[in-house]
Amino acid sequence: MKGKFTGGVHPNDSKDTRESPIQNLPLPDELKISLLQHIGAPATPAVSPGDRVLKYQAIAEPSGYVSSSLHAPVSGTVKAVEPSPHPSGRLIPAIIIEPDGRDEELDLSSSADPDLKKGPEAWKKMVGDAGVVGMGGAAFPTHVKLNPPGDKPIDLLVANGVECEPFLTADHRLMLEEPESLMGGLHLAMEMVGAKRAVIGIEANKPDAVEKIRSMDLPAGFEVEVLPVMYPQGAEKQLIYALTGREVPTGGLPMDVGVVVQNVGTLAAIFEAVTKGRPLVERVMTLGGTMPKGPGNYRVAIGTLLSHIVENTGGLEGPAAKIINGGPMMGQALAGFDSTMTKGTSGLLVFGPGESRVLKPRPCVRCGTCVRSCPVSLMPHTLGSLVEWDQFDLLEEFHVGDCIECGCCTYICPADRNLVQWIRQGKAELITRSK
């Protein structure tokens, strides 16, 4: 059945910033561009302290096939390459650039293809050179996704405009304000993977975005699907199932069922990379939650300190008790605002005291809501208890590897059990043991 995957939960969508147009932020005095902004190997720096760089100039190269390059968002001077706070909580080397305020751009005309004459193979390279990664949160290098092996024919390209995480509205605003880039990117991506059809999946809580895209005179083979509001509707495999009824096999990828999924922000970045030769040096993110004085959707340079975003939007109403990088269902809690924007930072949420209790897990009462809410049909209560009691050997029998870590089970658990955290812990333990 179309539009319905198994399980899922209904948190309040809290899309408070849906009406806020995308705004630009003033440039910070310092940018810290982390070498790890994507899934895969960290990038290798291509500049040294003291070098002058131009806006859009490559400053780090991919260190392998699944890796990505980095570019300077401003013109300025490289101050250092040193370990800096990363959203993951670790210290990861970052290239530190001091802007000179002149915003001198690298000449991009030679790497652009404004008339779309160069063809799919050249475009794939351009996307890779531009350092485009998945902007829905996972930050998987896009050129890898656009290059499925020959034995995996692709018939459908899915544009993911679901944005099912509560609070986040960056994709929503992008669909409203830059539909041309999104549709242009969609065309290019279809050509690159050889897909004949495209579906743009949007949740029903964004009727204006649906209308906007439908009003764009869609060519044949393009469809807009309105999907019920249900978390995690935007999870890749669940979205494919909801739109096509195809199930990505366990351990498989969307290309195994002839589909490639791209986030709408990524598609816009693909369009910029191909038509203007412009690398990914900024992105739209949502500043939200209850504490920011200036919540909204902002276009922010990659490498901007999170504290800069907060300070230049009016600051906070009071002390921050919880800071989340990303959405509230899958985002990471941060210890402060000292880490930086990465290509995968879709949101920064700040909450106050009283909104961030630490819950003490109680015994499972076997109510079964976790089983019914699991979009993968796992038995989260069993997995959680196995980890709680150190029974790691049994985890694989209960398909721990198929967990997508969406957090539905933990959200719904009436006994405040940290099910998804235990499952992550169990997965990590199995990886450690297999080494």
Partner 1 sequence: MTNTVLSPAPHLRTTKTIETAMYSVILALLPGAAVGMYFFGLNAIRVIALSIVLCVAFEALALRIRGRGMEPLKDGSAVLTGLLLAMNLPSNSPAWLILIGCVVAILMTKHVYGGLGYNSFNPALVARVFLLISFPVVMTSWPEPKSFTLSLDTVTKATPLGDMKMSLLLNGNLGDIANMSLMDPFIGRLGGSLGEISALALLAGGIFLIARGIITWHIPVTYITTVFVMTWIYWLLDPVKYASPVFHMVTGGLMLGAIFMATDYVTSPITPKGMIVFGVGCGAITVFIRLFGGYPEGVSFAILLMNAATPLIDRYTQPRVFGYPTRKEAKA
Residue with Cβ nearer partner 1 (48 or 356):
356
| Whole-number Å distance between alpha carbons of 364 and 13 | 27
Name the one residue in this structure whose structure tokens are 């250092």.
Answer: 80
Closer CB to partner 1, 131 or 137, in the complex: 137
Torsion of CA 132, 136, 140, 143, to 10 degrees: -40
Q: Which residues contact 98 (CB under 8 A, 6 or more apart)?
A: 29, 30, 76, 77, 79
In the chain, the amino acid numbered 307 is: S
* Nearer to partner 1 (CB atom), residue 83 or residue 336: 336
* Residue 142 vs 160, nearer CB to partner 1: 160
Task: Pick between residue 273 and residue 334 the one whose CB is nearest to partner 1.
Answer: 334
CB hemisphere CA count around 210 (13 angstroms): 15
Chain centre distance of CA 187: 21
Distances (CA, A) of 422 to 359, 383, 387, 429: 14, 8, 6, 10
Tell me which residues touch partner 1 (CB under 8 A): 6, 9, 11, 89, 166, 237, 241, 247-252, 319-324, 328-338, 349, 351, 356-359, 362-368, 371-372, 375-379, 381, 398-399, 402, 407, 410-416, 418, 420-421, 424
Q: How far is the CB of 324 from partner 1 (least distance, A)?
A: 6
CA angle 118-41-137, nearest 5°?
Answer: 75
Cβ proximity to partner 1: between 130 and 420 the closer is 420
Considering the complex, state which of residue 176 and residue 334 has its C-beta at the smaller distance from partner 1.
334
Q: Beta 58-61 vs 70-71: how paired, if at all?
A: antiparallel
| Cβ contact 17:39 at 8 Å | no
